[in-house]
Structure 1
């Protein structure tokens, strides 16, 4: 049923835009391009799911991706470390950002969205300092992970790791236990704060993978400040909401992958129509509200976190 719902969403959205604008939307080549764009976001969202399933949020996603991409590119090009510097630099930076997010969240005892919003400003400033006010550009000989089959291989590895962690490790078991009922999980002897930090670290590392795919696909990354990086927060969050909506079917990771593809079809459909960005944002925002409503139903006597 979960897969059927997702497939119907993808097919229906493709059919609508294909009928409206058949000339410049939905060809096999276009669909491959949409899928490649969705792969980047899905790789990060698969890790972010560990945070969201516990009821936490992260508003530093864009800053993490930006900082990780700039650090990885700097190590790869300026320090001549090649693919090793790019991959290790991005993933390690992302994990460190996640560690800081988790540490300050459990120590300050304030909502995760407030903690990560404040930290995002710091990450943006660090990225701007490292970049020296210029865009970080990845050399052309180091961009194989931005096109098929390199991006697909890296994304599939990320999805498999997320799937194995969720379904075959203590981390996944405790993640779901805490997300289901934190009070009961604590009484069972689970170190809730530790596994919340671990969730942020995993999420950050996966956003490091997204940073690899993003910089390899786009070739450059501009260091933005003033919370401008938050524009990258939306699609990973949307994908995770779809994963949460279909968690009851036992397919959160596939739901995220196909869901992100569905969102990219909608985005490029409006681009093909020549619709203003504001219209796309309105439709996407309405979709987010509907999904959030469906996934956060509160029972009688329950308290919204």
Structure 2
């Protein structure tokens, strides 16, 4: 038995090493391409640090959203949640004079409430999560617009510690550590993977499917609330938009989750999300350095990331490490 365990552990370690090699290669490749194309204004050590700092914002939301995606569900209200949470946190911090306590609690509690609503309505209405969250996104946008009064909400300069080092890194690392502990050392994490692997079998094992699907949305909502803290601290303001315009904020956290799903077979989904979001930002800032039009940036970035995800998700039989 000890021999078998040792062999399994060796396979897991080998898989993780291979996963890290692939991710590091993607970072180097994306950096090298743009460094060659525009050597003077891209890719210096200082630039890379700023790219990484910017990537932390979406990464925090992505590690929470991973709990939803790994179960095969989706959420189109990510952007609306971030917008609403940031506006509520800003109002609590500024207008109500609650400072950092208002910012942190306002953002995280709002994000969590949105997660509860998403999960509760999804499991009870029994319609696809994409449809439920699309409809709810419209509602969240309207609520955000009502709370803000149609006016841009600005976070005062003395409350932006999470928009710069070391505040942003400390908050992000705390979020990553929390997600890692939940995923690897709690019943929620175990059941999340069980439901994601085979919902029918999980149900026959006595797992309360509805309960843990709601839990996944709640966790995702809380992490999106933390992401909203970083978002408004980094950008200093938030504008309420309507007509599903908030969906533009869905893209980057979702792409980070694709990295997590792709590298799940290597036993390192959260690490892959962190490095994957960094790769996405390198590509994004690379196009900015080139002065490429926004439309071209979106097209090429989308194609590049689809290629990356396609290559990294291609596995042979027996190669998946559970």
Instruction: Assess same fold via TM > 0.5.
Output: yes
Residue-pair matches, total: 300
Q: Identify the residue that residue 303 of structure 1 maps to in structure 2.
A: none
Q: Identify the residue that residue 200 of structure 1 maps to in structure 2.
A: 217
Question: Pairwise mapping of residues 1-305 of structure 1 onto structure 2 (< 5 A)?
Answer: 1-290=18-307, 293=310
Larger Rg: 2
Determine the C-alpha separation between the residues in 2 that align with 1:213 and 1:43. 9
Determine the C-alpha separation between the residues in 1 that align with 2:311 and 2:197. 17
State the Cα distance separating 1:296 from its structure 2 match: 7.1
Structure 1's 294 and 26: CA in aligned 2 closer, same or farther, altered over 3 A?
closer
Determine the C-alpha separation between the residues in 2 that align with 1:166 and 1:295. 22
Determine the C-alpha separation between the residues in 1 that align with 2:120 and 2:25. 41
CA contact (8 A) 1:245 1:294 kept: no
Deviation >2 Å, runs of 4+: 287-299
Q: Which runs of 5+ in 1 are unaligned?
A: 300-305
Determine the C-alpha separation between the residues in 1 that align with 2:278 and 2:286. 12
State the Cα distance separating 1:246 from its structure 2 match: 0.5
The DSSP-based 3-state class of the residue aligned with 2:207 is coil
State the Cα distance separating 1:124 from its structure 2 match: 0.4
1:96-153 CA-partner distances (Å, limit 9, x unpaired):
0011111111111111111101100000000000011111100111001110000000
Query: Superposition RMSD on alpha carbons, in Å?
Result: 1.6
TM-score, normalised with respect to structure 2: 0.91
Determine the C-alpha separation between the residues in 1 that align with 2:57 and 2:93. 20
CA contact (8 A) 1:244 1:295 kept: no
TM-score, normalised with respect to structure 1: 0.96
Determine the C-alpha separation between the residues in 2 that align with 1:295 and 1:29. 29
Determine the C-alpha separation between the residues in 2 that align with 1:283 and 1:59. 23
Q: Which runs of 5+ in 2 are unaligned?
A: 1-17, 317-322
State the Cα distance separating 1:33 from its structure 2 match: 1.2
1:10-57 CA-partner distances (Å, limit 9, x unpaired):
011101101110111111221111111100000010000000000000
